[in-house]
């Protein structure tokens, strides 16, 4: 952000072929909407030299071809896109409603969250399974969905000692952030449940059906139902918002 306007994005040249656009330094769905609108706007405008853009919580990394366009000229294209954010529309959001198991085996941190929050483990499960969490961006390992908007009563600190391996499909959170692990991964989040729906399929492009701007709900069900759901492609669990 510029010193004169805290809401104006800060745009910096990164290396020889990319710019980083940074919006307000908070984890906010409103701020992330600016990131996603800029992403879709650049794709639609396709300015000379534009290659691709990678979104995060409050920033967008934009790659360009320095052999096609000079940095100063491409910077002007980014600035123009930033000025027209409100005019860019996004693809419609979708809800991925995923069956999940919440128990001691698949949710090892239910008790920990209950103790921190002063509520019962059953209340933790009820609250967590009702959440419809927005997807801010994809990243880390195998297109993992980064989620947010965890209510205050479920916001607890991350683990001091991260687990070296957490099963893919595990649903957990730390502070206001959350994720559903795409594959088996190390993590320091608090995990409360697990879906067996495959979040990552390397044999298809894109390898996940989830897009930034979608929502994910891991609703509670019996183990048998969750295991059966793991045999189905995740596209079968899309519902309108």
Alpha carbons 62 and 59: distance in angstroms, whole number: 10
Pick from 11, 220, 199: nearest CA to 107: 220
pLDDT tens for 2-51 read 444 556 899 999 999 999 999 999 888 999 999 999 999 999 999 999 99
pLDDT tens for 144-168 read 999 999 999 999 999 999 999 999 9
pLDDT at 5: 53
pLDDT tens for 167-210 read 999 999 999 999 999 999 999 999 999 999 999 999 888 899 99
**For all residues of the chain together, what is the average pLDDT?**
93
Q: For each of the domains in the chain, give its residue range(s) and CATH number, in order of start.
A: 10-87 (3.30.1360.40), 95-239 (2.40.100.10)
Task: Report which of residues 140 and 214 the model is more confident about.
Answer: 214
Alpha carbons 70 and 48: distance in angstroms, whole number: 10
Which whole-number Å values give the CA distances from 98 to 36, 86, 184, 234, in the listed order?
Answer: 24, 32, 18, 8
**pTM (two decimals):** 0.90
Rg (CA), the chain: 19
**For the chain, what percent of residues have pLDDT higher than 70?**
97
pLDDT at 6: 55
- Tokens (6 digits) for 186: 């190390």
Strand 170-174 to 190-195 pairing? antiparallel
């Amino acid at each position: 952000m510029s010193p004169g306007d805290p809401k104006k994005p800060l745009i910096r040249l990164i290396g020889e072929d990319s710019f980083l656009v940074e919006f307000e330094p908070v984890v906010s769905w409103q701020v992330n909407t600016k990131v996603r609108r800029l992403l879709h706007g650049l794709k639609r405008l396709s300015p000379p030299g534009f290659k691709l853009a990678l979104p995060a919580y409050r920033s967008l990394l934009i790659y360009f071809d320095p052999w096609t366009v000079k940095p100063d000229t491409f910077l002007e294209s980014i600035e123009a896109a930033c000025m027209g954010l409100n005019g860019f529309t996004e693809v419609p959001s979708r809800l991925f409603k995923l069956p999940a198991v919440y128990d001691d085996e698949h949710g090892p941190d239910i008790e920990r969250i209950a103790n921190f929050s002063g509520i019962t483990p059953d209340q933790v499960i009820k609250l967590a399974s009702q959440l419809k969490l927005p997807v801010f961006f994809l990243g880390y390992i195998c297109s993992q969905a980064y989620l947010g908007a965890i209510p205050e009563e479920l916001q607890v600190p991350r683990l001091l000692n991260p687990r070296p391996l957490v099963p893919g499909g595990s649903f957990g959170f730390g502070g206001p952030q959350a994720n559903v692990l795409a594959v088996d991964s190390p993590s320091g989040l608090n995990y409360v449940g697990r879906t067996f729906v495959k979040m990552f399929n390397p044999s298809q492009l894109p390898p996940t059906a989830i897009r930034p701007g979608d929502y994910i709900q891991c609703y509670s069900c019996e183990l048998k139902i969750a295991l059966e759901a793991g045999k189905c492609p995740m596209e079968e669990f899309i519902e309108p918002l």
